[in-house]
Amino acid sequence: MKNRYEGLLVLNVKGNEDGAKEVIERLEGDFKKEGAKIEQVQKMDRRQFTYVKGDLDSGYYVNFIFSAEPQAIAKLRAKFALDETVYRQNYLRLPAKIAEKPVRTPSHAKTA
């Protein structure tokens, strides 16, 4: 059974700001290879870190909202841990998407 997830990835694109688009497209492909269906990709631009650890002081934040099998999360974590452009990653399970019910108007309504 597929669950909905939110995956926040912090990318290390230091010195290559224009390459962020290509990295995001490659990551989308990695999600799809693991059987995930992407609903939305939110590009949140570069942000400074509150606490600096090491030589990297900022990162490019990208939020993926997707549906996938639970075991796909472990595979994605392992794959992105080896990717040098993914600095940090965090996944959160979201509640199931509620389908909107269509608004029905009574057919017997009189118009004046």
Instruction: Give CA–CA dist 98/29, Å, rounded.
Output: 26
> pLDDT for 88-102, tens place per residue?
999 999 998 776 666
pLDDT tens for 8-30 read: 999 998 777 678 889 999 999 99
Indicate the fold that domain 3-94 takes in CATH: Alpha-Beta Plaits (3.30.70)
Residue 112 has pLDDT above 70, yes or no: no
Task: Name the more confident of 56 and 38.
Answer: 38
Q: What was the pLDDT predicted at 102?
A: 65
Q: What is the pLDDT of residue 16?
A: 73
